[in-house]
Amino acid sequence: MKDSTRESLSYFGLFGRMIMVRKTIRPERVSFGSDKRCYFLYYEPETLKSDIVIVWVHGGGWNAGSPKFFDFVGQCTAGQGYRFVSVGYRLSPKNKYPCQIDDVCVGYNAAVAFLKGKGIDTSRIVVSGPSAGAHLTSILCYSRRIQEKHNVDVSGIIGYIGVGGPYSFSEPCTFVLKALLDQLFEKNCDRSQGEPCALMEKSDIPALLIHSEHDGVLDYSSAERFLEKAKSLGNKCELYTVVDKKNTHSWYTAGMFLETREKNKGLDKFFSWIENLGR
């Protein structure tokens, strides 16, 4: 069976698992813009186990998803003892790029100010995102041009984790990604202005890329190109290849947060990498 077919068939099982998640933590909602999608959810763990804060940006092909929809990620991460912020943004095709990265940068700044207002240390932040969220957060972390445009201070970011991200728009580019990019960008615009591999600059922020060779939506070479560009700049970057059986796009980018670290090696890699940053 083709990986793209396996990906399509996975949705029913994913949604079934999502609605069964127990909501033990009630997040605090904070708006940072006039659009209804410009808000973040803050999760305070019942038992704090680390001073690292995770700022996460959801996926959904740039045209779907919200922090509320991905509440199960916050429940899982806060359940591991981390303070967690889930940032939303305006969606395509109604809103064209760079609206999405503009919102993510504004949302990140608002989240940092919010945390500081609570007296929370913001000097140890891990920024992460899956799929479209990996695309946006990688630009936030590694494009100095974007940081300067939005006055984003990345000095408190100690790590970046991208899960199943479209970092390169070059061939081989799947039909699904081409269609999503056509929705995201204005016709005939310079798409390199929104391509992580083209925008990446020298950085001290270490990166972990989690990617599957059986994604079904994105080609594995996207992560390989990001890794190659990072190494050429002298940036520290690790590419972890998914080994779990549930290895299609939606399962390993978001569905892994529906499982336990004992059962899902990708999820365990996500948290163990963060734990090593804390040592």
The CATH number covering residue 245 comes to 3.40.50.1820
Q: What is the pTM of this model?
A: 0.97
Number of domain units in the chain = 1
Q: What is the pLDDT of residues 259-269, one digit of tens each?
A: 999 999 999 99
Q: How many helices (H) and strands (E) does the chain have?
A: 11, 8
Q: What is the pLDDT of residues 164-174, one digit of tens each?
A: 999 999 988 89
Q: What is the pLDDT of residues 137-192, one digit of tens each?
A: 999 999 999 999 999 999 999 999 999 999 999 988 899 999 999 999 999 999 99
What domain range includes position 252?
3-277
Mean pLDDT computed over 223-245: 98
Residue 42 phi, psi dihedral angles, 5° rounding: -110, 125
How many angstroms separate the Cα of 89 from the Cα of each of 49, 78, 177, 184? 29, 22, 19, 13
Quick one: which of 96, 99, 115 has its CA closest to 33? 99
